[in-house]
Amino acid sequence: MTVPTRIYLTGFMGSGKSALGPGLAARLGYDFVDLDRHIEREAGCAIQTLFAERGEEAFRRLETAALRGLSDRERLVTALGGGAVARKENLRLVRSRGCLIYLRMTPARLAERLAQGAASRPMLHEQGQPLAGAALRKRIEALLAERESCYAQADIALDADAETVETLVSRAAEALEGFAAQANKE
């Protein structure tokens, strides 16, 4: 199987990047990095703490630096944070260094998946409190609307609403083969 040497997974928080990544990496014989966990190890604290103590912009700078640091590694699947590709420099970097896969989900499905974990997701807070119910869904819809044009620039888009991880791994591997074949023709 011929596939790109660097694969980046994007999509909204809760779309399954961190679940798909290890399975896809194992199938390809690649390493896997969850960029948010990588940043937490480097910073010595949780993303939620980074947001609270330093703010979103400081976190985004750390995210860009971490992404740059990983961009030369080969045979790597990287799960990006949900907002990583909203920074133009990050989007340019991942598109120039590898293949970007977008895991697409509906706001309703994302709200279902994120309802229990909103407390640990700083972007799903308002005035320091996690959002719930209609307010959570409204925030998800607003953030998706802001980011959709960035997500749409992915090389591959996979609908992930009702898929199992195993099915997504197979679909991603097939799509990567098609992507590599097309790239070889050009």
Rounded CA separation 85/98 (Å): 13
Q: Which amino acid is at 164?
A: T
Rounded CA separation 38/44 (Å): 10
Give the model's pLDDT for residue 3: 85
Q: What is the residue-averaged pLDDT of the chain?
A: 93
Residue 128 or 69, more confident: 69
- How are beta strands 99-104 and 6-10 bridged, if at all? parallel
Least confident of 31-35, 38-42, 77-81, 119-123: 119-123
Give the model's pLDDT for residue 163: 80
Least confident of 34-48, 101-115, 119-133, 152-166: 119-133
- How are beta strands 129-130 and 125-126 bridged, if at all? antiparallel
Give the model's pLDDT for residue 1: 57
> Does residue 185 register a pLDDT over 80?
no
- Give the chain's domains with CATH numbers: 6-161 (3.40.50.300)
> Does residue 67 register a pLDDT over 80?
yes
- Alpha-carbon distances, residue 29 vs 17, 109, 156 (angstroms): 17, 31, 20
**Residue of 9, 2, 5, 1 whose CA lies nearest to 155:** 9
Q: Residue-wise over 34-47: b if at least 16 C-beta within 10 A, else e? A: bbbebbbeebeeeb
Give the model's pLDDT for residue 117: 82
Residues 6+ apart with CB under 8 A from 50: 39, 40, 43, 58, 59, 62
Residue 128 or 91, more confident: 91
DSSP-derived secondary structure letter, 83: T
Q: Average pLDDT in the 59-80 region?
A: 96
Give the model's pLDDT for residue 186: 67
> Does residue 76 register a pLDDT over 90?
yes
